Structure 1
Amino acid sequence: MDFESMQTFITVVDEKSFTKASQRLNLSQPTVSFHIKNLESYFSTTLIDRSPKRFKLTQTGEMVYQRARQISGVIEKAKAEVYEFQHQLRGTIHIGASYTVGEYILPSILKMFDEKYPAIDLMIQIANTERINRAVQLHELDVGLVEGQVHHQGLTSSPFMEDEMVVIVPKDHPLRKHEPVTFHQLQDQTWLTREGGSGTRAMMDSMLESYNIRPKKLITIGSNHGVVQSVKEGLGLSFISRTVVKHTNAEDLIMTIPYIKSAVRYFSIVTPVNEEEISKNAGVFIEEVKKKYSL
């Protein structure tokens, strides 16, 4: 199997089109087809369903695609490591962060690191925890800073900062007129939550299930700021990071409810479990984060 055929296959799948892949790679369409057939011959399987009306990966095609992405990421990482070795703490670190960490914690980390290592370029991706973990697994990112659990094969995590989850309630919400709030009054409320794959969403789902709270309605919002602003507008309740509440000037929305205890979780550093896959620059970044928070 040659590397060019593998890269061509990745591009065809990403573009979902032989024509678009040929344009992107500046290759003729017959050459692109040749590379795919070469790869199929190597694996003795059909990788892509070439039906006239659709483009679809076969099951084996999906397997090869995932591994090809990993191999490509490892090769790119090797190139970066050679460059870093020859140029000493130069090059690029690809850092991923979940929304809570990326929006409120990461900026101060980046400022600190950039002041110490100005020759290193920092490439940042912010997405939910699931996507960041997946990108580290595929070697698209060197390191991730996330909330929530890490269950992906080939990854390991270590906590660097403690965080607390709290309930926030609109200022004029009927619950604020009751002291104390009863379990019955907590039922059939509207709750604002993050999207699936978010560490914050996982914490809320666990809380609702643990305390047998039955929402009347769940409203999903794809950003922390959107959740807090919606609570301020009186749309509903939420269970969210105190870090987010603090940075959005919403601490007056926090409400202590006897039936719901605040929950402690951790922000974690996510890396490949194999330390040899961690670049020199990424290793330095990880050590600086650990020193900054000394958890």
Structure 2
Amino acid sequence: MTTRQDYSRSISFQHLESLVALADTGSFSRAAQRLHLSQPSLTRHIQNLEELVGTPLVVRQREGGILTAEGRLLCDFARRIIRLREEAWEKLTDSRDGGRGRIQVAASTIPATYILPRVISSWHRLNPGVTVHIQTHDSDETLQAVLHDQAEIGLIGKNTVHRGIVSVPLWSDRIVLVVPPDHPWAGEKELLPARLVEASFIGRERGSATRATLEAYLRAETGLDTSSIHVLCEVGSSEAVKEAILAGAGPAFLSIHAVRREVEAGRLCIVRVGNWNIERSFHLIYKKNFRFKPHHILFMDYLKAFRPDGDADQTQSSTTSPS
């Protein structure tokens, strides 16, 4: 007689990895490419897994598939199982190689693009045996990556209140209005907020903390109706926004970290809007009760000591418990 335990023993890592890859990509072909499999092989793994668990896991569509409720449930466990395998391998590697390790970091676009490269450069000089893997998402996706064990540490552009997450403020940021040097507003010492309705803006996508910070400030501090500001288009990165500004598509509100280099080079101009002061903090996030290893704690301490304005404390932090 075949038991449930017999079926569960037949589920392989290839089955689980195939399900996770399909969930992440939404496409059988892209999932197969990620796992370096042929598409028929990946399809067969999904079908075998469905037979083993006795329920449909994927709703097939013309361009791919989406997970059923049971598929999402199993996928969450699959991510954890895969992560446990990686942790086991890391512990064996650490035990064998000493001083080596890997850190999985998910970060929203501003810290990932404009801050973390400098962090990693100086960190690596002190800790050459520790490899840092960086995933770039928007802030909402970064939170989900940490919650679902796709990353051990997250960096986002807003505070988050979640019972399973610790959120620690790290670095300050300022959202500024940016235009090209030949824009009529470039010569203004101070732009009246009412004049914002004159232009069509380039905006960040929903899920972006830059956008959320701007909208929250407008609602709470100015009384300005966000619907009165015309958005010409929404794009998924600050680099794309800058290119649109330089091409003359319109002004935009961006992080000071994203535009500092272009402003210093004279390619973009910051326009002061009334007495507006749109500030926020980047936050370090991680799961409560996560079992950090010493190199994780060192890295988090290093992040806390780093100063994106160039006044970084470049000394290696001592090992402490995450606060």
TM tier, smaller: 0.7 to 0.9
* 2-structure distance, mates of 1:235, 1:102: 25
2:250 aligned with 1:236: yes
Paired residues of 1:167 and 1:262 also in contact (CA < 8 A):
no
Instruction: Render the CA deviation track for 1:213-268: whole Å, top value 9, x for unaligned.
Output: 4122342122212322333443222221112221333676111111x612221122
Paired residues of 2:28 and 2:43 also in contact (CA < 8 A):
no
* Partner of residue 83, structure 2: 73
Aligned partner letter, 2:231: K
2:106 aligned with 1:96: yes
* Partner of residue 4, structure 2: none
Q: Please, what TM-score do these two structures have when normalized by structure 1?
A: 0.80
* Partner of residue 294, structure 2: 280
Paired residues of 1:171 and 1:234 also in contact (CA < 8 A):
no
* Partner of residue 47, structure 1: 57
Q: 2:209 aligns with which of 199, 203, 212?
A: 199
* Partner of residue 280, structure 2: 265
Change (3 A) 1:125 1:13: closer
Paired residues of 1:162 and 1:264 also in contact (CA < 8 A):
yes
* Partner of residue 37, structure 1: 51
Superposed, 1:134-213 pairs within 5 Å as 134-151=144-161, 154-175=164-185, 181-210=191-220, 211=222, 212-213=224-225
* Partner of residue 110, structure 1: 120
Runs of 5+ in structure 2 lacking a partner? 1-7, 314-323
SS at structure 2 position matched to 1:168: strand
2:261 aligned with 1:247: yes
SS at structure 1 position matched to 2:215: helix
Q: Which has the higher contact order (CA 8 A, sep 6+)?
A: 1
Change (3 A) 1:124 1:268: same
Q: % of aligned pairs identical? A: 22
2:15 aligned with 1:8: yes
Q: Please, what TM-score do these two structures have when normalized by structure 2?
A: 0.74
* 2-structure distance, mates of 1:188, 1:206: 21
Aligned partner letter, 1:133: L
Paired residues of 1:6 and 1:39 also in contact (CA < 8 A):
no
Instruction: Render the CA deviation track for 1:69-95: whole Å, top value 9, x for unaligned.
Output: 133223322432342244322132222
SS at structure 2 position matched to 1:249: helix
RMSD across aligned positions (CA): 3.5
Change (3 A) 1:179 1:25: closer
Change (3 A) 1:209 1:236: farther
Change (3 A) 1:186 1:84: same
Aligned partner letter, 1:163: D
* 215-224 vs 1-10, which moves further: 1-10
Aligned partner letter, 1:11: S
SS at structure 2 position matched to 1:245: helix
Aligned partner letter, 2:237: S
